[in-house]
Amino acid sequence: MIQLIAFYLFATVVIASGTLTIMARNPVHSVLWLILAFFNGAGLMVLAGAEFIAMLLVIVYVGAVAVLFLFVVMMLDIDFSELRAGFIKNFPLGMLLAIVLFVELFVGLVARSAGHLVLGKADGSGAPLAGKSNIEAIGALLYSRYLFLFEAAGIVLLVAMIGAIVLTHRQRSDTRGQNVGRQIARRPDEATVNVKPEVGKGVTL
Amino acid sequence: MDWQHSLLLVAPEELLSLGGLLLLLAAGWGGDKIARAASIAACIALAAAMALVAPALAEGASGPATSAFFGQFRADAFASFTKLLIYGSAIAALAVAPQFFDRYKVMRAEYPVLILFAALGTGIMVSASDFMTLYIGLEMNSLASYVLAAFLRRDERSAEAGLKYFVLGALASGILLFGVSLTYGFTGSTGFAGVNIALAAGGPMATGAVFGVVFVLAGIAFKIAAVPFHMWTPDVYEGSPTPVTLFFATAPKVGAMAMLMRVALEAFGAQPGVWQQIVIFAALASIVIGALGAIGQTNIKRLLAYSSINNVGFILIGLAVATQQGASAMLTYLAIYVAMTIASFVAVLMLTDANGEPVEQLVDIAGLSRTRPWLAAALAAVMFSLAGIPPLFGFWGKFVVFQAAVAAGFIPLAAIGIAASVIGAFYYLKVVKVMYFDEPADKVTGASDLPHKLLLLVTSLFISPLGYLATIWLGALSDSAAAALFHAA
């Protein structure tokens, strides 16, 4: 029963915060709502017994979104003094989100300890996963059954990387690269010169 | 599952990925100096991959023996037929690139690498017998394509083409994924065989599953540039560097079309009624809008973009009938379409002025027949062939498609298609008229290198009446490829 309550709690908050992500006028608020949506998505995954995917959601998405957030702040023309002035005004909203996250964390943990949710069953009850842990099960599938797709996905990422470099990399002539070989081969007597300047005359290098 | 068997079946993919990775290393150390050598090496890799896929087509391979990695990948005669077209187009896109990019001093070593990975992704698309494989192949091809479209990054039009293609392509991928997840939710499988069994079982389809089918088709329709998802095509084709446009108009289009055939006939084959209406609408709308949109164009690349939309409509007629004969006709049309497209874009690439700058405006090729008679003749042959005027081979493609439609009892569809192809003939003939009857503008004076001439010669001969010598051979290959599609299980 508690799983069902937790499920509906998470699902409602996901949908609500998803809607608010696209409705919010302030892009920073949008990102905050998005983070809330990801957290609740992770909660749903925990309920379904997929802890690993839940962790991925939090670490990858929320982590990546934090970076995205920075990009948004950097690229949009946001007045920081105005933003700081709004801190007190936005403080209750921030606290509310934090409280919601905390309550959900608590509910999620309690629900999880009561056995995980079996998807597709109306009452949401089910037996615990047999044997393997999540990561073991995913790893075993990725490197056997889905080997071809896994490798192909690697190439997709490689193509994305090549693309980013091709589109942005420039050959610059005014930078000085480090030549390790020359650095190591340099000898003290080449690097220093002993001069004896006459009085009143400078040193020319 | 037998690993050795699976790994043998994906041998062309392994070869291409290894080739791409090695070329990438070579490009990393050698820099842009080795761009030409890398292009040649990439051509050799693609030719070797063609040699590896050819036996499956010759044997007419089909059935469970062609299935690899737990039914995620299929290397049958159908995949082999389309892969030959895809890799061939990629070789053409590599062969014409150096002259074009050298002019802007941007012949970079990454170009062959990206083309190689794009061809690899397209090959995976046509071999996909699981939605996950399909998506990964599609993304591999798309990501490489976005970068290729923006390859002339200092050129504003090229950057715009890349961005536009990227934003709309990402949206289409999202729609496709949404459709796939709905289909998965309602059928319980991502494999085409599993989806087919689930859809065949329960009488009429669930509404959610119908939505899934519609979204999947919409996503793929974007990739083949069928109306109403065609808006990006003219801008992207015009803005991209011409060798890249040649690639876009051939390899990914063949790949996406083959992917659509496999999805429609294998995965959703049990419920043709659900998708047939969509395909019929897309086919007729593409033919009409492709033909009408081309009329006002003054840029040859834009005109060819509309022409490709128009051709996609004709190819889709073969799918709308949902028969083996229709599938075979589509494959025949695709082969002829690839030859016509390569010929037309190579001819466009050869239109350069004295400084080597590309000439793309229709008015600038006025009177080409008097200054460059051979080039004008080749371009005229391509235009007549695209219009489907009988002595040329382009007619044969339209003929087999309409024959399949009539045989399956889709007579109104065939009649509307034929009527609309007359509208299309107007703008193809306009190009011929400008070249042959207008006063010479005398702009096209630049020379082209050997690969251009060779490619144009080979493809022009294929689309000339000489092509009819190949009809029996081409028809037999298309039949065996289409049979593999229908006897997948």
CA distance A33 to A31: 5
Q: Dump strand ranges (E) for B151-293.
A: none
Nearest Cα of chain B lies from the Cα of A119 at a distance, in angstroms, of 12
Contact B245, B345 (CB under 8 A): yes
- In this predicted structure, the answer to whether residue A174 has a pLDDT above a threshold of 70 is yes
Residues of chain B in contact with residue A160, where contact means CB-CB under 8 angstroms, are: 143
pLDDT reported for residue B162: 92
Return the pLDDT at B201: 82
Q: Are B387 and B380 in contact (CB under 8 A)?
A: no
Q: Best residue in B139, B190, B240, B244 to probe A by mutation, most A CBs within 10 Å?
A: B139
Structure confidence at residue A85 (pLDDT): 67
Q: Closest to B146 (Cβ–Cβ): which among A151, A152, A163?
A: A163
CB contact under 8 A, A148 and B69: yes
For the ranges A28-32, A177-181, B117-121, the maximum mean pLDDT occurs at: B117-121
The answer to whether A148 contacts B68, with C-beta atoms less than 8 Å apart, is yes
pLDDT of residue B333: 94
DSSP state letter for B439:
P
CA dist B192 and B184 (Å) reads 10
Is omega for the bond preceding B252 within 30 degrees of 0, making it cis? no
The CA distance from B26 to B41, in Å, is 11
pLDDT value of position B168: 93
H/E stretch holding B372:
none
Helices B207-224, B272-295: crossing angle, 10 deg rounding: 30
Per the DSSP assignment, residues forming a β-bridge with B128 are B73
Least Cα distance to B97 among B84, B85, B115, B83 occurs for B115
Which residue on chain A is closest to B159 by alpha carbon?
A167
CA distance linking residue B467 with residue A111, whole number of Å: 70
> Token pair of B331, please?
């494959």
The number of C-alpha atoms within 13 Å of B87 and in the hemisphere containing its C-beta is 27
**Helix, strand, or coil (residue A132):** coil
The mean pLDDT value for A9-32 works out to 85
Local structure of A120: helix, strand or coil: coil
Q: Which of A145, A147, A152 sits opposite B140 (nearest CB)?
A: A152
Q: From the CA of B252, how many Å to the nearest CA of chain A?
A: 16
The rounded percent of chain A whose pLDDT value lies above 90 is: 12
B125 CB near a chain A CB, below 8 Å? no
Judge whether residue A96 has pLDDT over 70. Answer: yes
Whether residue B17 and residue A148 make contact (CB cut-off 8 A), yes or no, is no
**Which of B68, B77, B49, B147 lies closest to B106, judged by CA?**
B147
Torsion sign, CA atoms A28, A29, A31, A36: positive
**Which one-letter DSSP state was computed for residue B359?**
-
- DSSP SS3 for B438: coil
Q: Do A148 and B73 touch (CB under 8 A)?
A: yes
Among B281, B303, B284, which Cα is nearest to B294's?
A: B303
A173, burial (CB in 10 Å: exposed 0-12, middle 13-18, buried 19+): exposed
The predicted model gives A180-200 an average pLDDT of 82
pLDDT of residue B40: 93
Question: For residue B107, is it left (φ>0), alpha (ψ between -120 and 50) or beta?
Answer: beta
pLDDT at A126: 46
pLDDT at position B2 is 81
Distance CA B220, CA B166 (A): 15
Task: Specify the CATH number for A2-129; select among 3.40.50.2300, 2.70.210.12, 1.20.120.1200, 3.40.50.150.
Answer: 1.20.120.1200
Per-residue pLDDT of chain B (489 residues; tens, 9 = 90+): 688 888 989 999 999 999 999 999 999 888 888 889 999 999 999 999 999 999 988 888 888 888 888 889 999 999 999 999 999 999 999 999 988 888 888 888 899 999 999 999 999 999 999 999 999 999 999 999 999 999 988 888 999 999 999 999 999 999 999 999 999 988 888 999 999 888 888 677 788 888 999 999 999 999 999 988 989 999 999 999 999 999 999 999 999 999 999 999 988 988 888 899 999 999 999 999 998 888 888 899 999 999 999 999 999 999 999 899 999 999 999 999 999 999 999 999 988 888 878 888 888 888 888 888 888 999 999 999 988 888 888 899 999 999 999 999 889 988 988 888 888 888 888 888 888 888 887 777 777 788 888 888 888 888 888 888 888 898 999 999 999 888 765
Please answer yes or no on whether A162 and B113 come within 8 Å at the CB atom. Answer: yes
Take residue B300 and report the two structure tokens written for it: 């040859």
A111 vs A2, A47, A51, A114, CA distance in Å?
6, 7, 13, 5
Q: What is the 3-state secondary structure (H, E, C) of A143-192?
A: CCCCHHHHHHHHHHHHHHHHHHHHHHCCCCCCCCCCCHHHHHHCCHHHHC
Question: What's the pLDDT score for residue A125?
Answer: 45
pLDDT bucket at A94, cuts 50 / 70 / 90: confident
Evaluate if residue A128 carries a pLDDT over 50.
no
Q: Look at B110 and A162 and tell me if their CB atoms are within 8 Å.
A: yes
Apex CA B251: angle with CA B380 and CA B66, to 5°? 130
Of residues A203 and B143, more confidently modeled: B143
As given in the structure block, the two tokens for residue B183 are: 């289909």
Return d(Cα B237, Cα B245) in angstroms, integer: 5
Give the minimum alpha-carbon distance from B436 to chain A in angstroms, rounded to a whole number: 42
Q: Which residue has the higher pLDDT, A78 or A178?
A: A178
Question: Of how many residues is chain B composed?
Answer: 489
Q: Give the pLDDT of residue A124.
A: 44
Given a contact cutoff of 8 angstroms between Cβ atoms, the answer to whether A138 and A52 are in contact is: yes
Q: Which residue type, as a one-letter code, is found at position B269?
A: G
Chain B residue at shortest CA distance from A150: B136
The whole-number pLDDT of residue A25 equals: 78
Does the CB of B405 have a partner CB in chain A at under 8 Å? no
Instruction: Provide the terminal-to-terminal Cα distance of chain A, rounded to the nearest Å.
Output: 84
Query: pLDDT class for A79, splitting at 50, 70, 90?
Result: low
**Is A146 part of the contact surface with chain B (CB cutoff 8 Å)?**
yes
Q: Mutate which of B117, B148, B155 to test chain A, going by most A C-beta atoms within 10 A?
A: B117
Beta partners for A83? none
Contact B153 A167 (CB under 8 A): yes
Show residues of chain B in contact with A153, CB under 8 Å: 136
Instruction: Check whether A5 has a pLDDT greater than 50.
Output: yes
| CA-wise closest residue to A4 among A128, A126, A99 | A126
Whether residue A146 and residue B140 make contact (CB cut-off 8 A), yes or no, is no
pLDDT in tens, A55-70: 888 888 878 876 777 6
B22 interfacial to chain A (CB closer than 8 Å): no
- Inform me whether the C-beta atom of residue A155 falls under 8 Å from chain B C-beta atoms: yes
B48/B87 Cα distance (integer angstroms) = 10
Residue of A nearest to B69 (CA): A145
In chain A, CATH 1.20.120.1200 sits at 2-129
Q: How near does any CA of chain A get to the CA of B62, in Å?
A: 21
pLDDT at position A68 is 74
Q: What value of ipTM does the predicted structure carry?
A: 0.91
**Is A163 within 8 Å of B124 when comparing Cβ atoms?**
no
Q: Provide the pLDDT for residue A178.
A: 82
